[in-house]
Amino acid sequence: MGWNVVDPAPSTDTAGTAEAYWDPLWRADRRYRRFDEEEAKHLRHHAGPGRGRPALDIGCGEGALVQHLHGLGFQAVGVDCAPAALATGQLCYPHLDLRRMDFEHDDLTLLPHTAYALVTCRLVYQWIPDKPAFLARVRQLLPPGGLFWVGTSVHDQTRGAAQAWELEAADAELLTTGWSRVDTMTAGNYRCFALRP
């Protein structure tokens, strides 16, 4: 199926909670760009084998990426604010650690580890209202040598106005600033960033 965007969702209503926005979309059977073999190959290349190291997927939805990380040998946990997505994930992958958490606001000490060798975040960052605060929370969890993997559509400025699900260039710059190393994978307007503290 590859790289087709399924979801033309509008941006998050900043007056509401993330759960109030996302849970109804999952209940209405909205689905999103699949994690495919090409992305998996690049993630494997950057993250290496899990070897029991902790990994965290922020905004895990139904848990497909958490399952992939588990398969790579990571001790993987997924968090999401949407109970409907987690309910499906827990049915499909009963062996996985999938938890309800609003990553922007909830207490990070509720997570099972204080540091993660790998933090992933697919199709989430572009909808986060306060991106600097979000990035600061991610950095709290990443030790030196860790990896932050972000997947997002990025707005191509030659193609008119940005779509609601596309990251603006300024936000992409914010995302990629202040890391010791930044690698990028591009597939159309979908991009994955491998960011190292």
Which residues lie near ligand SAM (CB under 6 A)? 18, 22, 32, 59-61, 65, 79-82, 85, 101-104, 122-124, 127
CB of 17: closest distance to ligand SAM in angstroms? 8
Measured between alpha carbons, how far is 11 from 57 in angstroms, rounded to an integer?
A: 21
In the bound state with ligand SAM, the residue whose beta carbon lies nearer, of 5 and 115, is: 5
CB of 176 to ligand SAM, least distance (A): 19
Query: Which residue lies nearer to ligand SAM by CB, 127 or 193?
Result: 127
Contact of 179 with 144, CB cutoff 8 Å: no
DSSP 8-state class, residue 117: S
Cα 6 to Cα 27: distance, rounded to the nearest angstrom: 15
Shortest gap between Cβ of 175 and ligand SAM (angstroms)? Answer: 16
The one-letter amino acid code at 134 reads: F
Nearest position to ligand SAM, beta carbon? 59
φ/ψ of residue 96, rounded to 5:
-90, 155
- Cβ neighbours of residue 195 closer than 8 Å, sequence gap 6 or more: 147, 148, 149, 150, 175, 176, 179, 181, 182
Q: Output 103 or 148, the one with its CB closest to ligand SAM.
A: 103
Least distance in angstroms from the C-beta of 124 to ligand SAM: 4
Question: What minimum distance in Å lies between the beta carbon of 180 and ligand SAM?
Answer: 25
Closer to ligand SAM by Cβ: residue 43 or 124: 124
> Between residues 13 and 156, which has the closer beta carbon with respect to ligand SAM?
13
Nearer CB in complex with ligand SAM: 106/183: 106
DSSP-derived secondary structure letter, 181: E
- Closest-CA residue to 26 (of 88, 74, 70): 88
Phi and psi of 172, rounded to 5°? Answer: -65, -40
Q: What is the DSSP letter of 67?
A: H
Query: CB of residue 164 vs ligand SAM: minimum separation in angstroms?
Result: 11
